[in-house]
């Protein structure tokens, strides 16, 4: 045990929330020998298992298989015409979610008897006490890990218009004929393409000048082109001015690059970002500050403005990824109980958008590297120059490397849109994390043919014309 047990409290640590960050914190605290309580009034498991990563990727891959069934790209192979049973696809997803919820959460509670699950919402009544259901509970330390939910927009008519968020969009039993999507970020793009591949007519409306606005510009533009080719209607620089229910669906009034335009659809998906879940937690009674978005304010050790309260995951409003949430949960528990003062480094954390082709990124984008004053070079490799892509008849893709010319061509960032980009990006993660150079990539032997070989070909492109190389040439 690495901390001094407080005998006058019900628990050493109480965690508000029941998702990835919360359970990572609870497990680490239990490993340290602490008595722990986890308070959650919703479905255990949080967004990732129930409404995010797991169910969305299951449906995305189902849609991809269905898409390939219709258009497989290989001469001589039949192309199917049978319609999908959408309700059955959803039912299978539900079975998967239920199984993982049990294996990764309920079974974990059985494995750690020192963790007590409280099936109620916790609200601070003082710096050391929370109200949980009809009882008061005290703890020496607290971790706020209540996650985030779909943000609402201040658009006239939206409050009286039936709409979907990412939660409801994963549970529809009937495929809509048409779907309007407000938001061209990861959620809007993933779910928009999924529904389009099952047969819905999809229109995506993005307020900013490009979709996937957090990605490198070249990657965003390439992705837009691929999705448009597939039949999605994607409009950028859109200002939604009015939303209203109409017979048969929803009508959106908007300005598209200043021009008034109306859109009609059977269903509306609101995918305009996430808002931290801090409402009605009684933060002011614990001395915990939040910013204008409601995000809990933390320092670089995840401590809030209250000396005995930490926060982890999406509720901090920072990098909203399940990997980061779990990492922060464990770090917050160690800092709270053992005072180890760990800090989290997000500079080499990768992220992905699971469209088809996928988007993945790590490190500095070109514009960020330039803004930092570095002397940079970039390589842009279209996947038509990757033999494996040609072999599998899917040459969609672009890999962009950002390197520092003054530091021996050290890799600063890797950004890609390609099939399986989310798996391949980890080569870029190691390159950025370990300060590898273009020379290091060139000295690495890749299996041939693989999509991952794109990293070596891109490295070669800094000094050679890769269109004039034979297979495996260096």
pLDDT at 474: 65
Reported confidence tier of residue 468, pLDDT bands at 50, 70, 90: confident
Over residues 346-361, the mean pLDDT reads: 96
DSSP 8-state class, residue 449: S
Same fold, 11-149+275-338 and 351-463: no
Instruction: Decide if 460 contacts 396 (C-beta within 8 A).
Output: no
Q: Domains of the chain: which residue ranges?
A: 11-149+275-338, 158-272, 351-463
Buried-exposed string 258-296: b where 16+ CB fall within 10 A, e elsewhere: eeeeebebbbbbbbbbbbbbbeebbbeebebebeeebbb
Over residues 320-327, the mean pLDDT reads: 95
Alpha carbon distance 83, 95 (integer Å): 22
Q: What is the pLDDT of residues 293-308, one digit of tens each?
A: 999 999 999 999 999 9
Over residues 50-69, the mean pLDDT reads: 93
Q: What is the pLDDT of residues 103-144, one digit of tens each?
A: 999 999 999 999 999 999 999 999 999 999 999 999 999 999
Say if residue 2's pLDDT is above 60: no
Say if residue 1's pLDDT is above 80: no
Q: What is the pLDDT of residues 139-162, one digit of tens each?
A: 999 999 999 999 999 999 999 999
Residue 360 forms beta bridges with which residues? Answer: 352, 416
CA nearest 363: which of 372, 355, 354?
Answer: 372
% of the chain surpassing 90 pLDDT? 91
Q: What is the pLDDT of residues 235-268, one digit of tens each?
A: 999 999 999 999 999 999 999 988 999 999 999 9
Question: 61 is written with which tokens?
Answer: 């891959």
pLDDT at 400: 98
Q: What is the pLDDT of residues 8-49, one digit of tens each?
A: 899 999 999 999 999 999 999 999 999 999 999 999 998 888
Exposed, middle or buried: residue 68 (CB in 10 Å: 0-12, 13-18, 19+)? middle
Which has more confidence, 315 or 75? Answer: 315
Is the CATH number of domain 158-272 3.40.50.2000?
Answer: no
Alpha carbon distance 181, 174 (integer Å): 17
Superfamily of domain 11-149+275-338: FAD/NAD(P)-binding domain (3.50.50.60)
Please give the mean pLDDT across all residues of the chain: 95
pLDDT at 333: 98
pLDDT at 466: 92
Reported confidence tier of residue 414, pLDDT bands at 50, 70, 90: very high
| Helix axes 86-101 and 53-70, enclosed angle (nearest 10) | 150
Q: What is the pLDDT of residues 424-437, one digit of tens each?
A: 999 999 999 999 99
Contacts of 43 (CB under 8 A, 6+ apart): 50, 101
Which has more confidence, 177 or 6? Answer: 177
Class of domain 351-463: alpha beta
pLDDT at 52: 87
pLDDT at 345: 86
Over residues 403-425, the mean pLDDT reads: 97
Contacts of 79 (CB under 8 A, 6+ apart): 69, 70, 71, 72
Q: How many helices (H) and strands (E) does the chain have?
A: 15, 21
Helix-, strand-, coil-residue percentages of the chain, each rounded to 5: 35, 25, 40
Say if residue 471's pLDDT is above 90: no
pLDDT at 3: 57
Q: What is the pLDDT of residues 200-235, one digit of tens each?
A: 999 999 999 999 999 999 999 999 999 999 999 999
% of the chain surpassing 70 pLDDT? 98
């Amino acid at each position: 045990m690495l901390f001094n047990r407080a005998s006058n409290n019900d628990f050493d640590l109480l965690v508000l929330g029941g998702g990835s960050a919360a359970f990572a914190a609870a497990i680490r605290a239990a490993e340290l020998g602490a008595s722990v309580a986890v308070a959650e009034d919703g479905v255990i498991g949080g967004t990732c298992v129930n409404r995010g990563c797991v169910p969305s990727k299951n449906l995305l891959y189902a849609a991809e298989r269905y898409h390939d069934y219709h258009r497989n790209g290989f001469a001589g192979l039949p192309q199917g015409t049978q319609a999908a049973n959408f309700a059955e696809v959803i039912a299978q997803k539900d079975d998967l979610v239920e199984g993982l919820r049990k294996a990764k959460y309920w079974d974990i509670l059985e494995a750690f008897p020192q963790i007590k699950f409280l099936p109620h919402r916790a609200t601070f009544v003082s710096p050391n006490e929370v109200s949980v259901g009809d009882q008061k509970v005290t703890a020496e330390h607290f971790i706020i890990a209540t996650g985030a939910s779909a943000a609402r927009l201040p658009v006239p008519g939206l409050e009286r218009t039936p709409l979907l968020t990412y939660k409801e969009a994963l549970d529809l039993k009937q495929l809509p004929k048409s779907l309007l999507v407000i938001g061209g970020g990861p959620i809007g793009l993933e779910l928009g393409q999924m529904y389009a591949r099952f047969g819905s007519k999809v229109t995506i409306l993005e307020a900013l000048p490009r979709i996937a606005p957090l990605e490198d510009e070249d990657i965003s533009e390439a992705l837009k082109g691929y999705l448009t080719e597939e039949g999605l209607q994607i409009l950028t620089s859109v200002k939604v001015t009015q939303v209203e229910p109409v017979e048969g669906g929803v009508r959106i009034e908007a300005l598209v690059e200043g021009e008034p335009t109306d859109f009609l659809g059977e269903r509306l998906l609101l995918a305009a970002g996430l808002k931290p879940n801090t409402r009605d937690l009684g933060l002011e009674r614990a001395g915990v500050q939040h910013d204008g978005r409601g995000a809990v304010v933390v320092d670089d050790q995840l401590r809030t403005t209250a000396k005995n309260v930490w926060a982890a995951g999406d509720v901090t409003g920072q990098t909203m990824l399940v990997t980061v949430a779990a990492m922060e949960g464990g770090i917050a528990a160690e800092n709270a109980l053992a005072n180890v003062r760990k800090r989290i480094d997000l500079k080499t954390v990768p992220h992905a958008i699971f469209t088809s082709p996928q988007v993945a990124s790590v490190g500095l984008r070109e514009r960020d590297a330039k803004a930092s004053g570095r002397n940079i070079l970039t390589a842009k490799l279209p996947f038509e120059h990757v033999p494996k892509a040609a072999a599998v008849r899917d040459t969609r893709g672009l890999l962009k490397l950002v390197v520092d010319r003054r530091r021996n061509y050290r890799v600063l960032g890797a950004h890609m849109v390609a099939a399986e980009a989310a798996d391949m990006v980890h080569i870029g993660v190691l390159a950025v994390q370990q300060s590898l150079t273009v020379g290091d990539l060139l000295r690495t032997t890749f299996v041939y043919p693989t999509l991952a070989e794109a990293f070596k070909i891109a490295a070669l492109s800094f000094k050679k014309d890769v269109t004039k190389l034979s297979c495996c040439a260096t």
